[in-house]
Amino acid sequence: MKASTFFGYKCPRCNSKVTVGLSVGVETMECPSCHTPMVPDEQGQASAGNVYCPRCKAAFGLVLSDRCPNCGGPFSKMP
């Protein structure tokens, strides 16, 4: 069975928002409220996965930011 992850989606029908979602067996993200297919939220919160901050030498699997939560520095891919 296939699992998909979704970051920053919104429902065009009822305006519900999903910051982080997981869908098993379905390839599209459906609204948990009205079951309408969701679309990317252009105004959604940034997220980053499997990243490294060279400034403070911290590694993160998933962060809901595009900057390091420890020092505010930019991320790079894991070394």
Residues 7 and 34 in one domain: yes
Residues 8 and 33 in one domain: yes
Residues 7 and 36 in one domain: yes
For residue 17, give the nearest of 29, 4, 3 by alpha carbon: 29
User: Residue 12's domain spans which residues?
Assistant: 3-40
Question: Stretch 49-76: mean pLDDT, rounded?
Answer: 91
Residues 9 and 35 in one domain: yes
**Total number of domains in the chain:** 2
Q: pTM for the complete prediction?
A: 0.62
Beta-bridge mates of residue 6: 21
For residue range 9-34, what is the model confidence (pLDDT) as tens digits? 899 999 999 888 777 777 778 888 99
Residues 53 and 33 in one domain: no
Handedness of CA 15, 21, 23, 28 (dihedral sign): positive
What is the distance in angstroms between the CA of the first residue and the CA of the last residue of the chain? 31
At 79, is the pLDDT very low, low, confident or very high (cuts 50, 70, 90)? low
